Amino acid sequence: MICLVLSGSTIEENLKLVETNYRYIDIVELRVDKLNAEQQKRAKEFPALIDLPAILTIRRQSDGGSFSSSEKNRHALLEEALDGDFAYVDLEDDLKKVSIEQKAKEKNIKIIRSRHDFKGVPDDIFHLILKIASKGEIPKIATMPQGVDDLITLFRVKEELAQVENKIVVGMGEYGQPTRILYKKIGSLLTYCSSDNLSLGQVSAKRMKELYRADKIDDNTRIYGIIGNPVIHSFSPLIHNPGFQFIKFNAVYLPLTVDSVRSFFILAQLLQISGFSVTVPHKQAVLPYLGKITREVKQIGSCNTVVRTKTFWSGTNTDYYGFIAPLEQMLEEKRIKSALVVGAGGAARAVVWALRNHRCKVVIINRNLERAKNLAAETMATADSIKNASLYEDVDLIVQTTSVGMMSEEDPIADFNFNENHVVYELIYRPKYTTMMKRAKAANASLLFGIDMLIKQGFLQFEAFSGYHYPKRLKIEFDLEED
């Protein structure tokens, strides 16, 4: 079940939230602690006002809630609210109040017995779940995994505790997000969503239902993802999930925040992950785990796409192909013979190797000259300081690979004069028009955009993952300025 957490300050506000999210959800949790004091007394009315099952929760501050009055008052409020036709009531595992439990039982309201741990996964998590379940209550463990190792413990719950049919397990924070999306793979009865003010790792009800189709995930669903850190705002799920849905491929693609690549490969085995994209800072760290790599991965020294084969993991680099795709014809026809590459970081490595493999002459300019020289030595290119950009205005192609212009209006090569013969390729995709690209456009240069490279490399990953071309009729929608 997809559960919407209702954190409105009035009953009316919460009814509106139910209305807007109705088609995405199966159940709601009324957070009475978030209601205004005078509205809290109306909690019992709530279940009759909606046609979805509701969970009653009054969370105290020590468990991440907002209820600040005494425990006595909380118990009284719980007892009063139980007059309403709630389907479940969430009681913390240290709350022992016979009258509340008695009333819930009489009214056939199921008890969810919860433990919250913001420091990490409790050592005795399996025992805790069994102990609660043995009393006929639904165990709920909400914890904050501190890394992939904690995530592994959580995902082991399904096979270790298969006998406990109804249990709720939720990982909070960015490391915990996969437990929300893959709640069925963890064996959790439900997953919690919000509608706005999402805290780190939370997923909106709309995305949970429409993008991840979390409630449709079954034993045959293939799991794909993107590993990185940070990675939660990656665009890649917006490319792959709609593609999978369009071709009716039973698969899900999700962000996976990874601190240790070694631990991730253990998780990948446990979850039988079929393939994954790799982003900063793990593009080099995955290499020792790969049984086969392409020539480009070997040259560049970094891998952004990994696919499971029967016996090993196989790595490729679609940044390389995504970058070169719009240039290939011009390179072949010798319309582009020389290039100025601005920057000498990770992206520049793929760019320079791709151009050199296509026999294009390359000058690499960088702030750190040493770095440019090292890359030039490897690739048989030339190196210079970024300050000397204007010495190279006779090149055919300019590729901008630094991060300058992403967060500011800065232009990394402000002295460089563009003209209509130049092809200008900006790797930054947000914003689409950097200051440098605005200047190149004003000079009537031909423009190539980072967003098209990002999409192309995504399409190539899609092929590597699914074996199918990305559906041509599918329009990818993401707002570059907003995420």
- As beta bridge partners, residue 138 has 112
| Cα 431-323-376 angle, rounded to 5 deg | 105
Q: Which of 72, 283, 334, 456 is catalytic?
A: 283
Taking the CB of residue 288, how many other CB atoms lie within 10 A of it?
9
The residue (of 139 and 431) whose beta carbon lies closer to ligand NAP is 431
Six-digit token pair at 188?
A: 């959790």
The residue (of 187 and 450) whose beta carbon lies closer to ligand NAP is 450
CA distance 89 to 69: 19
CA distance 217 to 132: 27
The residue (of 169 and 460) whose beta carbon lies closer to ligand NAP is 460
Taking the CB of residue 177, how many other CB atoms lie within 10 A of it?
23
> Smallest Cα–Cα separation from 286: which of 320, 312, 310, 311?
312
> Smallest Cα–Cα separation from 356: which of 384, 375, 329?
375
Contacts to ligand NAP by CB under 6 A: 280, 319, 322, 343-348, 366-368, 371, 386, 401-404, 406, 412, 427-429, 450, 453-454, 457
- Indicate if 283 belongs to the active site: yes
What are the backbone angles phi and psi of residue 208, rounded to the nearest 5°?
Answer: -60, -40
Residue 11 C-beta: closest distance to ligand NAP, Å: 45
Cβ-contact 90, 140 below 8 angstroms: yes
| Residue 358: DSSP 8-state | T
Strand (E) or helix (H) holding 338: strand 338-342
Cβ-contact 297, 456 below 8 angstroms: no
The residue (of 46 and 425) whose beta carbon lies closer to ligand NAP is 425
Residue 222 C-beta: closest distance to ligand NAP, Å: 24
Distances (CA, A) of 65 to 8, 34, 35, 36, 105: 13, 8, 11, 14, 25
Residue 462 C-beta: closest distance to ligand NAP, Å: 14
Residue 330 C-beta: closest distance to ligand NAP, Å: 18
Cβ-contact 157, 167 below 8 angstroms: yes
The residue (of 114 and 402) whose beta carbon lies closer to ligand NAP is 402
CA distance 470 to 302: 24
| Cα 460-465-467 angle, rounded to 5 deg | 80
The residue (of 67 and 323) whose beta carbon lies closer to ligand NAP is 323
The residue (of 217 and 278) whose beta carbon lies closer to ligand NAP is 278
Residue 250 C-beta: closest distance to ligand NAP, Å: 28
The residue (of 347 and 362) whose beta carbon lies closer to ligand NAP is 347
What are the backbone angles phi and psi of residue 406, rounded to the nearest 5°?
Answer: -80, -45
Residue 386 C-beta: closest distance to ligand NAP, Å: 6
In this chain, which residue has its C-beta nearest to ligand NAP? 345
Tally of residues, the chain: 483
Residue 103 C-beta: closest distance to ligand NAP, Å: 56
Beta strands in 144-234 (DSSP E): 168-171, 191-193, 222-228
Residue 373 C-beta: closest distance to ligand NAP, Å: 11
Six-digit token pair at 193?
A: 């969503």
Active site members: 283
